[in-house]
Amino acid sequence: MKRLIAMGLLLALVLVGVGTTQAQPTRIIVYSALPDLETTMVNREFTRRTGISVEALSVAAAGTIAARIRAEKDKPRADIFTGGSRDFHIPLAREGLLLAYKSPAFAEAKVSPVYIDPNGFWHGWYLGALAIIINTDRWDREMVPRRVPKPATWDDFLRPEFRGHFIMPSPITTGGGYIFVAAQIFRLGEDRAWAYLRALNANASQFTPTAPGTITLLARGEGIVGMQWAHEGIGARLAGMQPLETIVPPDTGFEVGAVSIIKGGPNPEGAKAYVDFLASRTPQDINAKFGYRYPVRADVPVPMGATRFEDLKFVKYDLAWSIENMTRVRERWTREIGR
């Protein structure tokens, strides 16, 4: 009897291990910087259309995924890096970690070449703009009686009334946080930008490790004002009675949400099919409807409640500079802001 129990346990141990490690040729592995909901819906549609199944790891911070891809460069585990600003894809391409592929589907869909890497290392498939987010509940209760005007520019974040009530995503782990910091540098010049950021730090209650984390805390009233992607704010308000207002200020930063193929991944053919698929209407529509992100296809309707992308006023964003200086800027942030 005891022998039987022991043998049974050993057998179970062996069986549990087997069956989980075999590779399937008709499967791709996706690292996604988009939330689970959009990732899952897009992937289901991909599997339905191509018969290729998808295993996805969704981590709501593009920096985390880029870090994983670097850590695994000797033996890449995934095929696709989707979501997250192209700012996170371009350095990976430079380090030789991405596979060049010029998707014919993107050309067919008449996606503006501005959103596609000329070398084919990444394809932009959605767009977003940074915005001021306000918790209107707390605003009405605490700021209206003090006659504080609603913030309309990035500089308004520095008002003394906001001390301890400002929240934004960390520039170390999130694309939005980094683009915001870069936008300040393009807007003010390097020295004034860091003075601005130090003053902002004095007002900040938190820098959240993921982008949606900021919205959650704002929606829950843990902060009054914050900085985040406009689509996150709109999404949270529409999704469920969240008291949020979204204002896109002038000199805002924007992202081109990209997809790229990881070089040396297990299934490059499946990965190419995935990139082609993202140029089609359905995934862009899913992302616009459920994530409120702007599609790159002109024939997909813009998300509810959003200003047209062309009508927003962007800072003169020097993409090459922002990529070139990413490590230096993040290190300076760590040194000077320290959180």
Partner 1 sequence: MVAESVAVIRWGEVRRQAGDPGVALAFIGAALMLGLFVLYPAFRVLVYPALQDYLDIPKSVRWMQAARNSMVMMVISTLTATLSGLIFAFAVTRPDVPGRRFFRNIAVLPIFAPPFMVAFAYILMFGRQGLITKTVLGLDANIFGWHGLWLVQTVAFFPLAMLIIIGVLEGINPSMEHAARNLGADEWAVVRTISLALARPGIAGAALVVAISVLADFGNAVVIAGGFPLLATEAWFRMEGLADLKGAALVVAMLIVPTTCLFLLERYWVSRRVYTTVTGRGSRVERPPTHPVLKWGTFLFCVLMSLMVGLVYFGVVAGSLTAVWGRDWTLSLTHWRLAMDRIPTLWASVKIGAMAGIITGVVGVAVAFLTSRRLPLRHVLDFLAVLPGALPGVFIGVGFVLAFNRPPVELVGTPWILALALAFWHLPMGYQAAVATLKQVERSIEEAATNLGASGMRVLWDIYVPLLRPAFLGAFTVSFIRSVTNVSIVVFLVTPGNIVATFAILNMIGNGIWGGAAALTTMLLLITFASVGMAQAVVGRTMRSTPMG
Instruction: Single out the segment in contact with partner 1 by CB under 8 A; choices: 9-17, 274-282, 298-306, 312-320.
Output: 9-17
Give yes or no for residue 2 binding partner 1 (CB under 8 A).
yes
Burial 60-87 (b: 16+ CB within 10 A, else e): bbbbbbbebbeebeeebebbbbbbbbbb
Cβ-based neighbours of 77, under 8 Å, separated by 6 or more: 29, 265, 266
Site for partner 1 (CB under 8 A): which residue of 47, 50, 136, 205?
Answer: 205
Give the number of other Cβ atoms within 10 Å of residue 160's Cβ: 8
Beta bridge partners of 31: 57, 81
The correct pick among 33, 46, 52, 68 for binding partner 1 (CB under 8 A) is 68
The answer for 58, left when phi > 0, alpha when psi is -120 to 50, beta otherwise, is beta
Task: Considering only the stretches 100-108, 250-258, 314-322, 331-339, report the one whose residues sit in contact with partner 1 under the rule CB under 8 A.
Answer: 331-339
Q: Is 204 in the site for partner 1 (CB under 8 A)?
A: yes
Q: Is 170 in the site for partner 1 (CB under 8 A)?
A: yes
Q: Which stretch binds partner 1 (CB under 8 A): 123-131, 211-219, 270-278, 287-295?
A: 211-219
Number of residues that bind partner 1 (CB under 8 A): 63
97 counts as binding partner 1 under rule CB under 8 A? no
- Considering the rule CB under 8 A, would residue 80 count as an interface residue with partner 1? no
- Both tokens of 9, joined, read 């346990």
Q: What are the structure tokens assigned to 158, written together?
A: 């520095």
Chosen residue from 93, 132, 236, 275 binding partner 1 by CB under 8 A = 236
Binding of partner 1 at residue 136 (CB under 8 A)?
A: no
Q: Do 300 and 288 form a contact (C-beta atoms < 8 A)?
A: yes
CA distance 214 to 72: 29
> Does 207 engage in binding with partner 1 (CB under 8 A)?
yes
146 to 165: interface string for partner 1, x by CB under 8 A: ------------------x-
- Give the span between the Cα atoms of 48 and 169, in whole angstroms: 35
Q: Is residue 173 near partner 1 by the rule CB under 8 A?
A: yes
Q: Please state the separation of Cα 120 from the chain's center in Å.
A: 20
Rounded distance between C-alpha atoms, residue 127 and residue 295, angstroms: 6
CB of 111 to partner 1, least distance (A): 28
- From 26-34, 101-109, 125-133, 187-195, span contacting partner 1 (CB under 8 A): 26-34
Q: Does residue 114 sit in helix, strand or coil?
A: helix
Piece of the chain touching partner 1 by CB under 8 A; list 28-36, 153-161, 251-259, 309-317: 28-36
Q: How far apart are CA 60 and CA 70, in angstroms?
A: 17
Residue among 62 and 312 whose Cβ is closer to partner 1: 62
Q: Which DSSP helix (H) or strand (E) runs through 39?
A: helix 36-50
Chosen residue from 155, 156, 222, 324 binding partner 1 by CB under 8 A: 222
Map the footprint of partner 1 across residues 294-313, applying CB under 8 A: none
Distances (CA, A) of 289 to 75, 121, 188, 217, 286: 36, 27, 35, 23, 5
129 lies in the site for partner 1, by CB under 8 A: no
What is the binding site for partner 1 (CB under 8 A)?
2, 5-6, 9, 12-13, 16-17, 20-21, 29-31, 35-36, 40, 55-61, 63-64, 66-68, 70-72, 74-75, 77-78, 164, 170, 172-173, 204-207, 209-210, 212-213, 215-216, 219-222, 236, 240-243, 330, 334-335, 338-339
